[in-house]
Structure formats: C-alpha cells, structure tokens
Amino acid sequence: MNLPFRLATWPLTAFLGMLALGCAAQPRPDCKPAPENVAELVQIRARFHTVQGPLAEFDPCHKLSQLTVPTRWNGSPLAIKPPLLIIAHGGGGLGMLERNLATALQKKDIATLVFDAYHLNGFEQGYPFWGSQATNESRQRMIYKAAKGAYEWALTQSDKVDTRSIYLQGVSNGAAVVVNLASVVSPEHVKAVIAEGLPGMGIGLPDQLAVPVRLVFGKLDNYGGKHPEDWMWQRKDSCRVNRTPSPDVPAGNAARCNARQNPTGLTEKPIDWMHRLKAQAADIDVWFYDKAAHGIFQGPIDRKMLTYGTDNVTFSWTGSDQTAKEKMLADLLALIQNPPTPP
C-alpha cells in the first residue's frame, strides 16, 4: 500500500498483548484531527450559507487524505523519487474530477496528494450542497487552510517523493486557492502552480507570485454564468462577494474590492489579473483548450444549469471532449518534465 500515513498491520500476538495491558495504539504524531469547536455553518439566506469559526488543519491521517506514490509493476519503488502534484479540490469537494486527474498522473509516475477540506472540518454534505448552497469565500477559506497544510506536510515526505519537485493544481475554487498559495510557497520546493477555471471572487487574487503560474480554461467554460457566453476568464462580479482580507491570505485585490471597501465596484477579471501580474514580470501564462468547459477531467461535456440558493439560475457547463483531456495531460507532463527556469 502506498499510503505512508496508514497504520501498519501488527502481528496478532502484539495486538492481543496491547489489549491485555488495557492500552490503545497511539496515533501518529502528525495526525491533526479537527477539534470539537471547529467550523460552523451559518445560513445567510434561504438555502445559502457561509462558514464561521476556526478552521481545521490538514490531517494526513484523515480517511480522505491520500498520498499515492507510484511503484513499479511488482510493487518495488521507482528508480528515482517521483515529483508530487497536490490537488486542491473544487467547490463541490473531492470528487470524480480530482480522482480522474490523479489516476491519469499516477500512470505517468507522478505522485499525487488529495484531500477533502469540508470533511476535515466535519462537514459531510456532498456536491449538491457545497456546489450551490455556500459562498465562494467560505469554500475557499477551508480549502486554502487545508491545501497549505497539505503542502507543509508534503515537505516532510522526502523519503517518498521529490520535495524539490512539487506542483500545486486546483480547479474552480481550488484554483483560487492555489494561485494564492503561489504567493507564499517556496520556489525551492514548488516548481509551478496550475489553476484551472479560476474565478475572480472569494478570497481574491494575490498581487505577487513567488512561483510560476499557468492558468487553464476550457473555451466553453461558462460555469456560474448569467448567459451561455459569460466566460469564466472574462467574468466580473460585485465586490460584495469578496471576503474582507485576513492575515491568513496573501495581500491581493480583495483588499480593494470587498463588502466594506468599494462595495459597489466589480471584481477584477481573471484574465486582466493575469495580464497585470505579467506586466510586473511575473512568470504567468494561460492555456486554452478547445471542446472543453469547466473541469476538463470531470467527464464528457455536460451543458447543465445550476441554481445558487433559491433563485439564481446559471449556465454551468462542465467536462470536455477526450482530445482536450489528452492535450491537457500532455501539457501537464511537459511542464513537470521541463519546469520553468527560475529568473
């Protein structure tokens, strides 16, 4: 089994001896189960919520936290330690999209680390709830804290993966998380960040980057749009949807656009944010994909509608053609095999 945080199987005699002594097996020292007072759902209008209170840390011992390290056909280690891609899930939680991407990369000898920030915080509601009944900022705050903790924990796993070849990937709300992490992670360890379907609202977008960033958009990505051609990379929304910045998140455009600061203004378009940072000499670029919508590895293209709360109906196309999946996977592998050269 490739999961370093699974408890080893003890001999039966040792286990019975422990029971006879009235003792219990001790948890690993890096386990971080959520405390009793962690995170609370608060309804702000009918069928729509935010999250208040302290947020859970990343727990490598949680049942949905999974580090998978590829091996040879016979189960022996690879000749060299593999690079690692940490996947920050989207707004619906850890699901098919993230698992499909992880499986595809593992087949190419890339280690992956996945988790579910909502379950870490004790929330077991599935996609229908998190996908449409919670604010972007609440989802992003939970994912951000968990993803940052996952990165910090991954640095301790140098016996299993190449900790100087780490990549961060996120879709949708997870994309907003990883671009913020791109402002605080170490370039000695993180070689690039891949942000797919990046929204411009929630915790905001950072004003500086410490590592290269590649944005990914399907050319049909209208997720959450008000009309069929309300493309994600060109979208603006009310500043009121941004959270007032906290010390936990890097300095960024949400400081100038939130419910208190410029509440009648509009958020920065993701593509305009990219061009602004690129003009400041940041290593950032965008990959567009034909025959693809939101969440390229989700499955076939699904042209569906989604209701946020009780009455905000939006266009929310997801998935892609197989050719787009193959092209994106090839681009990811090329990036990992030939990472950007530091300035």
pLDDT at 20: 41
pLDDT at 341: 85
User: Range with the lowest mean pLDDT among 13-27, 34-48, 189-203, 243-257?
Assistant: 13-27
Residues of the chain with pLDDT > 70, as a percent, come to: 92
pLDDT at 26: 61
HSE value, Cβ hemisphere, 13 Å, CA-based, for 70 = 22
Instruction: State phi, psi for 99 to the nearest 5 degrees.
Output: -70, -35
Strands 213-218, 284-289: parallel, antiparallel or unpaired by DSSP? parallel
Please state, rounded to an integer, the average pLDDT across all residues of the chain: 91
- Reply yes or no on whether the pLDDT at 105 is more than 90: yes
Q: How far apart are the C-alpha atoms of 312 and 187, rounded to whole Å? A: 41
pLDDT at 292: 98
Which residue matches tokens 């929630």? 202
Give the pair of three-digit tokens for residue 312. Answer: 């905000």
pLDDT at 291: 98
Tell me if 154 sits within 8 A of 65, measured CB to CB. no
What pLDDT digit, counting tens, does each position of 131-188 carry? 889 999 999 999 999 999 999 999 999 999 999 999 999 999 999 999 999 999 999 9
Break the chain into its structural domains and give their ranges: 26-337
Confidence label for 108 from pLDDT (cuts 50, 70 and 90): very high
Q: How far apart are the C-alpha atoms of 114 and 75, rounded to whole Å? A: 21
What pLDDT digit, counting tens, does each position of 280-327 carry? 999 999 999 999 999 999 999 999 998 877 778 899 999 999 999 999
Give the residue-averaged pLDDT of 269-280.
98
Quickly name the fold that domain 26-337 has: Rossmann fold (3.40.50)
Give the pair of three-digit tokens for residue 175. Answer: 């994309």
